[in-house]
Chain A
Amino acid sequence: MNHIVIIGNGISGVTAARHIRKNSDQKITIISAETKYFFSRTALMYVYMGHLTFEHTQPYEDWFWEKNRIDLKEGFVNTIHTDEKTLELRSGEKFAYDNLIIATGSKPNKFGWPGQDLDGVMGMYHKQDLENLEKYAPNKETCKRAVIVGGGLIGIELAEMLRSRDIPVTFLVRENSFWNGVLPTQESEMINEHIKDHHIDLRLGTNLKEIKSDKNGRVKSIIIEETGEEIFCNVVGLTAGVTPNIDFIKDSGIAFGRGVKVNHFLETNIKNVYAIGDCAEQHEAIGQRRNIEAVWYTGRMMGETVAQTLCGNKTEYKPGHWFNSAKFLDIEYQTYGWVFNERSKKENDVYFQWRHPKDYKCITISFDKNSHQFIGINTFGIRMRHEIFDQWLTENKSIEYVLEYLADANFDPEFYKLHEAEILTKFNSENNTNIQLKKKSWKRIFSKA
């Protein structure tokens, strides 16, 4: 029987395993060093905050794996011998495979800061990071202040986590506004305000120079590059992005750049070896997507795709329209299609923007100024329907169409105050148009079904 070995039990590897099992009877082994059972990495923050226990982050009960004949092996893969199709664990144990899927995800970036390996310095990525955080920052008495370096999605999550236990947080962000490498100014500034509402000491345009140690090798303070200011703290969170976690493949003959190089079929340069998820790097970008996408759902989709290929239905990885979501403290964010920030947007892209006068709600719609084609939308504090936007993007709808039927796309809970009318009024007055809002129609919403 064909033996498929998957390295990594994150969303990519587990999705691949599940779909291979659905479609075939091949032997499946998942090897993981982090935990025995699959858990949702994105939910680790809620464990520290006390919203969940660790068990709640595991989407499948423990009997699931045996029932579906997916062997789980705890171990760290040291080397891959692609010539003889075996791999060797750190324990010395050897495994033979017929097909190998590398799905080892990412690891936090460290940029060679002095002191970056001291006790009390941590990323927020692995289950082990969570355990570290419980050790070094169990409460505000033990951790009198924490400094977070890196203003991305994990950074703000870590800040939220620490604030849930009333630990003072200083948040160093290299950019001059939060996440403005991605977000347009309006939204980035709104998040700045909201971060400060949560009593987080937000330092924009600020870099880390070094982390200083006490005499026991623990974090004592950090020094800021620009001002030389010393901030005393017990914990430093390094959240300046992630890199593919692929050190162990370096002598295997598998081609790599920053990640494991793959083609659109997720194949590496070696036959029978595939790479999916965060650790895979496309030779050629797909659409406007990055070559390495460290996003939950792309990992899942690559898992679904490679499973098809391994079950005899060779399938190209073709992610559909870009979408994503996140939550910044209390503000939910969703995006469908492409909305770039002011610096990276294309020449013909223009914005239509609306922000609620009081609440933390806003939208940015990106469209082509000549054809008026709808390109993408960012929404903050308003939920939108994925299916509808996916359909509109496929059908190349115009911004006028999108606004006219915006009520169909709203996904907020029932009885929420709706803002489509205000949004439309603003567009009409800015563009001298007279678009009338269509009432929400179940027929249109479910026309695809």
Chain B
Amino acid sequence: MKAIKQTGLILFLIGLALFIGTIFTGSFNLTQAELDTFIQEKGYKSELIKTELAKGVVTNENLNIFEFSSKVINAIETSNKHYNTLIAKYDAEKNWAKKGAQFQYKIFGKPHSLTFTLAKKAGKGFAAEKTGLMWFLTFGLGIIGALLFIVPDVVLLGKPGIKNDGIFLSAATNRGWIGWFTFIFLVSFYILLYFYPDYIVNWVYLVEPISQFISGNSASQWFLYGFLYCVVMSVMAVRMYIKYRHNKYQILRTTSVLFFQIVFAFLIPEILVRFEKPWYDFKNAFPLDYDFFFKWNLDELISSGGFGLFILVWGVVLTIVVVPVMVYFFGKRWYCSWVCGCGGLAETLGDPYRQLSSKTLFSWKFERIIIHSVLIFVLVMTSFALYTFFSGANQIIGIKTQTIQDIYGFLIGAIFAGVIGTGFYPIFGNRVWCRFGCPLAAYLGFIQRFKSRFRITTNGGQCISCGNCSTYCEQGIDVRAYAQKGENIVRSSCVGCGVCSAVCPRGVLKLENGPEAGRINPTEILLGNDIDLISLVNKK
């Protein structure tokens, strides 16, 4: 069994190495005809970009993706610089007509995204041509290796039950060298994905046939991300099923997040695209889905006829009615631990890191400031977006809606949710985004704290203050602080993962939805002592 496990680890590492290595393979160049088509598609009017690009990438030379990218970006910069100089010149001459005429020649958009689009047409080599084989050697080996590593635990872990042996003795799960390497890998991955998609174009080739099969479209880096997300969640869900095979709550919850990720976040949106409908994830509620009320999205929905309108109405109803009503009955767990994609990744890929979240009072204060700031930020941004949509004005009190949207997208959407939110799993625990950043979680938290039937019940006086609950709380709640006082846990940040209850050796904690009366029960003396004393002290 141990040999199988080790073989699995080796296969996984080979797969991972090949996956990383794939980035550096292949050659990128274009024929003049291909370039012309691209420029025509894009509608570039600059003659300069044509010649500069032709000089750079219409070649028989074997450019790797980095060389290719730098040549394309150079061409764009040269072209833009030229027209900027002209603009400055005509500006100085006060020749407004000529100045205005130059803007149409400028190339807008993120250079690395443009390069990605062009590179997608220009690639040759293993990933682009022997896609099936390369898919097997990267994704395939990774999946097989990981499963071989995980499945023997059915036997190796022994009898069903809580198996947290060695977690704080392992370099992978206690911020050891493996943890730091994982951290570097994840952070690099997200930086490439969000800011340098052209560098990972070879990875996108690997999933091209799958994208063609599902949506009929060419794969983007976001398709790659969606596919990878599903793969990682599925494999790590197997790990959850084995680790918590005695715990039906965990099994059902894992199945639920997996289902919503694969069907709602991945398949349905892609299939919608196949039928020329807008790409939409029906479970992704505003304000987590922060661009829902952006002008471009509203315009697209309204122009997509009845179906677009349905999405529009559903999106609004989801946030204003469905989400709060469900939180009232079941707590925010119904979303955060049963449905949400971010939560889904955190509960599968992130489960080995849950014990790393900080439980200090300081981090709780920090958390409340940051998460509520993000909520305010998203609401302000959305008011701007709606104002722009209805009034047509693209700025309010001198602040451009677009600028705010760009800042949010960069700081919160990419850096916070992606790079920090997932990249920092091995360092700060698996719910960094959900705990400190997610504006939807902040909104659900208010309802959970003030108007909900959900609580974690503390079982009388059975607590022995061992600290397993607090340690394994991914949201950094000091569960023990409540349990040892006999108090129920009613906290806005609780996502109801149920692990505190699972790891408790004395059966002290139970997640449940009951009457609101008595849900919050501050006690000073625990059950067990003489009744008079309890009532005497608690009445004071």
A97 to B339, CA, bound (A): 59
A300 to B527, CA, bound (A): 11
**Chain B residue at minimum C-beta to C-beta distance from A194:** B159
Q: Which B408-462 residues have C-beta < 8 A from chain A?
A: 457, 459-462
A297 touches which of B169, B498, B528 (Cβ 8 Å): B528
Does A327 contact B506, Cβ atoms closer than 8 Å?
yes
Does A386 contact B461, Cβ atoms closer than 8 Å?
yes
Tell me whether A332 and B507 are in contact in the complex, defined as CB-CB below 8 angstroms, given that A42-B464, A59-B484 are known contacts.
yes
Q: Using Cβ atoms and an 8 Å threshold, which residues of chain A touch B528?
A: 297, 301, 319-321, 323, 386, 390
Chain B min CB distance to A263 (Å): 16
Instruction: List the one stretch of A113-121, A213-221, A413-421, A428-436 in contact with chain B.
Output: A413-421
Does B161 contact A329, Cβ atoms closer than 8 Å?
yes
Tell me whether A442 and B515 are in contact in the complex, defined as CB-CB below 8 angstroms, given that A42-B464, A413-B248 are known contacts.
yes
Q: Within 8 Å of chain B (Cβ to Cβ): is A40?
A: yes
Q: Within 8 Å of chain A (Cβ to Cβ): is B170?
A: yes
A319 touches which of B484, B512, B514, B529 (Cβ 8 Å): B529
A40 to B506, CA, bound (A): 14
A304 touches which of B159, B160, B161, B525 (Cβ 8 Å): B525
Q: Within 8 Å of chain A (Cβ to Cβ): is B490?
A: no
Question: 1/0 per residue B153-179: CB within 8 Å of A?
Answer: 000001111101111111000000000
**Chain A residue at minimum C-beta to C-beta distance from B540:** A23
Q: Within 8 Å of chain B (Cβ to Cβ): is A11?
A: yes
A330 to B531, CA, bound (A): 33
Question: 1/0 per residue A294-337: CB within 8 Å of B?
Answer: 00110011001100100000011011110101110110101000
Does A164 contact B165, Cβ atoms closer than 8 Å?
yes
**Chain B residue at minimum C-beta to C-beta distance from A321:** B528
B514 touches which of A49, A56, A442 (Cβ 8 Å): A442
A74 to B248, CA, bound (A): 47
A52 touches which of B249, B468, B506 (Cβ 8 Å): B468
Q: Using Cβ atoms and an 8 Å threshold, which residues of chain B touch A445?
A: 514
Q: Using Cβ atoms and an 8 Å threshold, which residues of chain A touch B158?
A: 197-198
Q: Within 8 Å of chain B (Cβ to Cβ): is A383?
A: yes
Q: Within 8 Å of chain B (Cβ to Cβ): is A394?
A: yes
A143 to B221, CA, bound (A): 53
Q: Using Cβ atoms and an 8 Å threshold, which residues of chain B touch A22?
A: 524
Q: Within 8 Å of chain B (Cβ to Cβ): is A111?
A: no
Chain B min CB distance to A65 (Å): 14
Chain A min CB distance to B284 (Å): 26
Chain B min CB distance to A331 (Å): 8
Q: Using Cβ atoms and an 8 Å threshold, which residues of chain B touch A52?
A: 168, 466-468, 471
Does B165 contact A51, Cβ atoms closer than 8 Å?
yes
Interface class of chain B by DSSP: loop
A315 to B529, CA, bound (A): 11
Q: Using Cβ atoms and an 8 Å threshold, which residues of chain A touch B168?
A: 47, 50-53
B530 touches which of A319, A415, A446 (Cβ 8 Å): A319
Q: Using Cβ atoms and an 8 Å threshold, which residues of chain B touch A414?
A: 249, 498, 510-512
Q: Using Cβ atoms and an 8 Å threshold, which residues of chain A touch B467?
A: 40, 43, 46, 52, 56-59
Question: 1/0 per residue A405-430: CB within 8 Å of B?
Answer: 00000011111110000000000000
**Chain B residue at minimum C-beta to C-beta distance from A334:** B507
A385 to B461, CA, bound (A): 10
Q: Using Cβ atoms and an 8 Å threshold, which residues of chain B touch A411?
A: 457, 459, 507, 510
Chain A min CB distance to B513 (Å): 9
Does A56 contact B464, Cβ atoms closer than 8 Å?
no
Does B166 contact A59, Cβ atoms closer than 8 Å?
no
A415 touches which of B249, B462, B524 (Cβ 8 Å): B249
Q: Using Cβ atoms and an 8 Å threshold, which residues of chain B touch A66?
A: none
Q: Using Cβ atoms and an 8 Å threshold, which residues of chain A touch B398?
A: none
Q: Could you write out 15 A-B pairs with CB less than 8 Å apart?
A: A40-B466, A40-B467, A43-B464, A50-B165, A51-B167, A59-B465, A301-B526, A320-B528, A325-B462, A386-B460, A387-B527, A413-B247, A413-B248, A413-B501, A449-B521
A-B pairs with the 4 shortest C-beta distances? A386-B460, A449-B518, A330-B161, A318-B530
User: Chain A interface (Cβ within 8 Å of chain B)?
Assistant: 11, 19, 22, 40, 42-43, 46-47, 49-53, 56-59, 61, 164, 194, 197-198, 296-297, 300-301, 304-305, 308, 315-316, 318-321, 323, 325-327, 329-330, 332, 334, 383-387, 390, 394, 411-417, 442-443, 445-446, 449
